[in-house]
Structure 1
C-alpha cells in the first residue's frame, strides 16, 4: 500500500459547515472503533443476536486486524474522521478519541483465478457509517477516495455487492454512479427467503 497517497489533497476533502470529514488510511489503534461501527451496521442487536453480539464484534475485530496486518499491495481500509472547527476560528482539529464516522475497504478480486492474464478488479466492501453521522456526506467521500485509489492502481472500473432489500445503500450507490451488472441468486434465496445480492459496477472517469 502506498501510504504517501493518503496524504494527498484528494484525501483531505471537506464537508461545508461547522464540521468536516477527513479521509485517511486506517491504523491499528482504530480497530476498536471500526469494529463497533461495522458490528452495529451489519448486525441487529434484537432477540438472540443480543447474546452473541460481543462474539460477532470480536470476530469482526480479529478479521479486520488480520487484513490490516497483511500489508497486501492492493488492499486499503479507509476511515472518515470527524474534524471539528474551533468556535470563533477557522482552525480545525481532529477529535481522535471519538471521531471515526465511517469506513470502507477495497481489495482486488478475481472473476476467474485460473485465467491468464489475470481478471482482477477493484472490489469495495464493508462500507459502514456510524448512525450519528449518516446522511452527512462521509459515505460519498469514502467512495470517491476508493475510486481515486482504483485509478492509481490502473483500473477504470470498480465493483461492489449490495443486498436487494437495502434500499438506502442502493440509492447511495445509484447516486454515486453505480449500475447493476448482474443479480446473484442461489438456493438460500428461494429456500429461506433471503434477499438477493446485486452486483454493481461503476465506470471510473480519468478526466
Structure 2
C-alpha cells in the first residue's frame, strides 16, 4: 500500500490536544459552524448520517461493481462519493470520535511491531498520526486536502451504525519530481496513507477508496493523480494498476544502502478531462 509518510505535508511536531477538545457536544462547535462553511458541512453530514442509519433505505448497485457520485460539488444524495461491494466512501467528519477512528486505522496499518513494549509504541504512533491529521486539517483549505473514509453499508440492518474500515488522504501538490512526468501541469492530486483494517482486506475496500479519489480529482479540477508504492509490494501495485495507475519512475538503488525500501511512482491520467481540469494554460 502507499506509504503513510510519503506525503510531505505530514508532520508530527504539533502537540496532541486533550481528549475533551474533540467533544462533538460542545456548543462552541455549533456556533462556529455558522461562520465556518467547512465545519458546517461536517455538522450537517453528522446529522444526515444519523438519520440515514435510522431509516430503511435500499441501496442500488452495491454488489458487483462501484457506483460513483458525479452530481454537484458535494457528496451524492446518500452522502457517499463512491459506493460498491457493501462499502461507501465519504469525506471524514471533523469531530473527535471519527478523527480518532481514522488515526487508529492508519496506525494499525502502518505500525511495525517491536519485540518489547509493542502496545506502548503503538499508542505513541497512534497519537502521532492523530496529531499529523489535525495539522493537515488546520493548515489546508477544504479543496486542497481531504481525508476520505470507507465504512460498511449494511442496509439489511439500518439500526446498526456503519463501521469505519478504511482511510485514504488526498492532497493537492506540485512536487517537481512528479511534475517532470506531467508536461504542461502545475499541480496534481496526491494519494497517500491508504489503509484498511486487517480483517477487511481483500474485500474491495481499497478499490472503492480509489474510486472516491477519482471523484475528488474531477470535482477539484485535476487531470492527474499520483501515488507511491513499495517496489516489492506486488499486491498493492496490482491493485493500483487495475485502478488505472502506471509506473513512471522508481527510487534509485542507493536508497537501499540506508535500509530503506525502494518505491515506485505511479500516475493516473484522465484522458478525457472536463473543461474544469487545471493545467499550466
- Whether TM exceeds 0.5 here: the answer is yes
Q: 2:217 is paired with a residue of what secondary structure? A: helix
Q: What is aligned with 1:95?
A: 161
List alignment gaps of at least 5 residues for structure 2: 1-36, 42-71, 178-183, 274-281
Q: What is aligned with 1:33?
A: 101
Q: Give 4+ residue runs of structure 1 displaced > 3 Å after superposition.
A: 1-6
RCO higher in 1 or 2 (8 Å CA, sep ≥ 6)? 2
List alignment gaps of at least 5 residues for structure 1: none
TM-score, length basis structure 1: 0.82
TM-score, length basis structure 2: 0.62
Structure 1 residue 82: deviation in Å? 0.9
Q: What is aligned with 1:132?
A: 199
Structure 1 residue 161: deviation in Å? 0.5
Q: What is aligned with 1:61?
A: 130
More strand as a share of residues: 1
Q: 1:84 is paired with a residue of what secondary structure? A: coil
Please tell me whether the aligned partners of residues 174 and 187 of structure 2 are also in contact (alpha carbons under 8 angstroms): yes
Structure 2 counterpart of 1:181, from 245, 248, 256: 248
**Structure 2 CA distance for partners of 1:52 and 1:110, relative to 1, 3 Å:** same
**Structure 2 CA distance for partners of 1:8 and 1:205, relative to 1, 3 Å:** farther
Q: 2:83 is paired with a residue of what secondary structure? A: coil
The whole-number CA distance in structure 2 between the counterparts of 1:161 and 1:145 is 18
Structure 1 counterpart of 2:152, from 70, 82, 90: 82
CA deviations over 1:43-88 (Å, ceiling 9, x no partner): 122325714221111100111122223351311110001121336x
The whole-number CA distance in structure 1 between the counterparts of 2:91 and 2:225 is 19
Structure 1 counterpart of 2:81, from 6, 11, 18: 11
Please tell me whether the aligned partners of residues 112 and 119 of structure 1 are also in contact (alpha carbons under 8 angstroms): no
The whole-number CA distance in structure 2 between the counterparts of 1:200 and 1:30 is 30
The whole-number CA distance in structure 2 between the counterparts of 1:186 and 1:137 is 33
Structure 1 residue 206: deviation in Å? 4.0
Please tell me whether the aligned partners of residues 84 and 93 of structure 1 are also in contact (alpha carbons under 8 angstroms): no
More moved, 67-76 vs 52-61? 67-76
Larger radius of gyration, structure 1 or 2? Answer: 2
Please tell me whether the aligned partners of residues 229 and 236 of structure 2 are also in contact (alpha carbons under 8 angstroms): yes
Structure 2 counterpart of 1:109, from 169, 173, 176: 173
**Structure 2 CA distance for partners of 1:135 and 1:5, relative to 1, 3 Å:** farther
